[in-house]
């Protein structure tokens, strides 16, 4: 599952289902479930069902308030969380 945008100033993004290797190519990647200690993840089946409902749909996108980390944490934890952008 990936969220595709053309620039950081885009207001909408389209959710796509793609193989990870298609998205990252030869680049390195890692799993980062950094909020698991403070927020228990939903059951895997529920995360998948929630994600599949969004495939091929446009979603609001805002770098500060509704970015891709917000989207995936909403799927995983039921709560949109992101510390990618701070108020500093």
Please write the tens of the pLDDT for every residue from 14-67. 999 999 999 999 999 999 899 999 999 999 999 999 999 999 999 888 777 778
The reply to whether 63 falls in a domain is yes
The reply to whether 11 falls in a domain is yes
* pTM of this structure: 0.77
The reply to whether 69 falls in a domain is yes
The reply to whether 85 falls in a domain is no
Q: For the chain, where are the alpha helices, taking DSSP H only?
A: 20-24, 44-52, 68-77
Integer Cα distance of 70 and 63 in angstroms? 10
Contact 70, 80 (CB under 8 A): yes
Read off φ and ψ for residue 51, nearest 5 degrees. Answer: -65, -45
Q: Which domain holds residue 10?
A: 2-20+38-77
The reply to whether 8 falls in a domain is yes
How many domains is the chain partitioned into structurally?
1
């Amino acid at each position: 599952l990936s969220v595709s945008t053309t620039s950081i100033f885009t207001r909408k993004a389209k959710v796509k289902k793609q193989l990870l290797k298609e998205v990252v190519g030869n680049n390195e990647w890692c799993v980062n479930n950094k909020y698991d200690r403070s927020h228990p993840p939903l059951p895997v089946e529920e995360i998948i069902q929630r994600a599949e409902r969004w495939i091929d749909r446009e979603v609001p996108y805002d770098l500060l308030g509704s970015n891709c980390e917000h989207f995936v944490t909403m799927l995983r934890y039921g709560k949109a969380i992101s510390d990618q952008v701070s108020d500093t």
